[in-house]
Amino acid sequence: MRRWLALLVAATTSLVLIALLVPLALLVRALAESSAVTQATAEAQSVAAAVGTADLAGLTLTAERTSAASGHAITVFLPDGRLAGAPAPRSAAAELAARGQSLTAETPAGLEVLVAVQGVPGGTAVVRAFLGEDDLHRGVREVWLGMLLLGLALIGVGILVADRLALALTRPMSGLARVSHRLAAGDLTARTTPGGPAEVRAVGLALDHLAGRISDLLAEERETAADISHRLRTPLTGLRLEVESLADPEEATRLGFRVDALERAVTSVITDVRRRSREQASCDAAQVVAERVRFWSVLAEDQGRTTEVDVPPGPLTVAVSAAELSACVDALLGNVFAHTPEGAAFSVRLAPAEGGGARLEIADSGPGFRLAVEDGHLLERGRSGAGSTGLGLDIARRTAEASGGSLSLGPAPTGGARITLHLAAPTSPVT
């Protein structure tokens, strides 16, 4: 904006100066010509006063002195054909002036000022003062140069003033943009500094009010979610007591693992919703994926599912917290167990990605996707093709995008579904 305002002021100032200076420059030129003609006429008249009283030698001396003082060539044409002063041809204008009419005539080389002197024996004498181009326009170039420099100086001052005014306008607007970017990045403590015109200050106050309102709404949402999650503690405790009272130790142990996992999930929800700002987290993807695969392998063994696992020893750092990645893997593996028949095999592969991060692929040999994946319906929150809540793939997608990666769907080589999770590496060292 500063540049555009500077260009606008420069263009406007230039047009105004052209409209003023061009006529003024022509006027200066006309005044210079008029002044030169007036001066030459006075010089010619002063020589004409000596025509009737001096002889040829005296007249020549007078003409030469006047010419030397003024710089103009002065010639006296006498009625008998003789001339005194600077040599010059007798032009048609001089012949006309010899009839008793003083005049000014243009020639290819300059301007002739002709003064007729009557009462001279033998006829009318003519005094000629010649003005060349330099005589007519003496000092005009210097004045034009001064006007040009003045115009450029005025344009520069106009641009400087416009830049200062634009800066006073763009600086608070840039501050508003920075605050909005910070708010978009999750920093709800960002606030504007009042400044600039009244309209910009009003926008800043409105943005601050909006940020405060968003903070209040998020705080209410966090507290509500935390309260709901905390209420689950009571039925969880009752469920744990029921599990511990089972007569079959093996069954009690298996169900106890499930209760522990549910309790960890509830604790993670309480921790996440009470977090005021979302700082960049990271974890070892190899360790988290291996742990969750071991957890689900018990159920896979009970259902007779063949499991193929390829997880490197690590560490394989990704820009996702361990809790989020665990929830993501649980959601994807939970979909495998929920939407494929018992005995259907599945595979879990984790590998480093080019440029950092990791690539997680989970594939099964079930019936595959029931909805077309081209239109993105399977990634819509709350939409499912198998009667479920439809949140599993949305959780996985948001986890991948939170790290700076992505999620893609496609068919598995065995005919089932394949979900590929691209997890980016942290952008800054983790302390």
Q: Give domain status of residue 365, yes or no.
A: yes
425/330 Cα distance (integer angstroms): 21
Q: Are residues 14 and 59 both part of a single domain?
A: yes
Name the strand (E) or helix (H) holding 104.
strand 103-107
Among the candidates 277, 310, 335, a domain finishes at 277
Return the beta strands (E) in 171-258 as ranges: none
Q: Give domain status of residue 431, yes or no.
A: no
Q: Are residues 158 and 258 both part of a single domain?
A: no
Q: Are residues 125 and 161 both part of a single domain?
A: no
Per-residue pLDDT averaged across 312-316, rounded?
Answer: 85
What's the confidence (pLDDT) of residue 235? 74
For residue 279, pLDDT beyond 80: no
pTM: 0.47
Q: Give domain status of residue 68, yes or no.
A: yes
Residues 6+ apart with CB under 8 A from 245: none
End-to-end alpha carbon distance in the chain:
41
Q: What is the DSSP string of 268-313?
A: HHHHHHT-SS-----EEHHHHHHHHHHHHHHHHHHTT--EEEE--S
Q: Could you tell me the pLDDT band of residue 88, with boundaries at 50, 70 and 90?
A: confident
Q: Are residues 225 and 236 both part of a single domain?
A: no
Domain count, the chain: 4
Range of the domain at 326: 279-423
Q: What is the pLDDT of residues 201-234, one digit of tens each?
A: 888 889 889 888 888 887 777 777 666 665 666 6
Q: Are residues 273 and 340 both part of a single domain?
A: no
Q: Are residues 297 and 405 both part of a single domain?
A: yes
For residue 329, pLDDT beyond 70: yes
Q: What is the pLDDT of residues 290-313, one digit of tens each?
A: 999 998 888 888 888 888 999 998
Q: Could you tell me the pLDDT band of residue 276, with boundaries at 50, 70 and 90?
A: very low
Q: Could you tell me the pLDDT band of residue 253, with boundaries at 50, 70 and 90?
A: confident
Q: Give domain status of residue 122, yes or no.
A: yes
Q: Give domain status of residue 287, yes or no.
A: yes
Q: Give domain status of residue 191, yes or no.
A: yes
- CATH value at residue 122: 3.30.450
Dihedral angle of Cα 322, 326, 328, 329, to the nearest 10 degrees: 130
Q: Are residues 325 and 380 both part of a single domain?
A: yes
Q: Are residues 340 and 417 both part of a single domain?
A: yes
User: 265: closest CA among 214, 210, 322?
Assistant: 322
For residue 431, pLDDT beyond 70: no
Q: Are residues 121 and 160 both part of a single domain?
A: no
Please give the mean pLDDT across all residues of the chain: 81
Tokens of 136: 């007519």
Q: Could you tell me the pLDDT band of residue 348, with boundaries at 50, 70 and 90?
A: very high
Q: Report whether 132 contacts 110 (CB < 8 A).
A: yes
Q: Which of 60-74, 210-224, 282-296, 384-398 has the lowest mean pLDDT?
A: 384-398
Q: List the beta bridge partners of residue 117.
A: 125
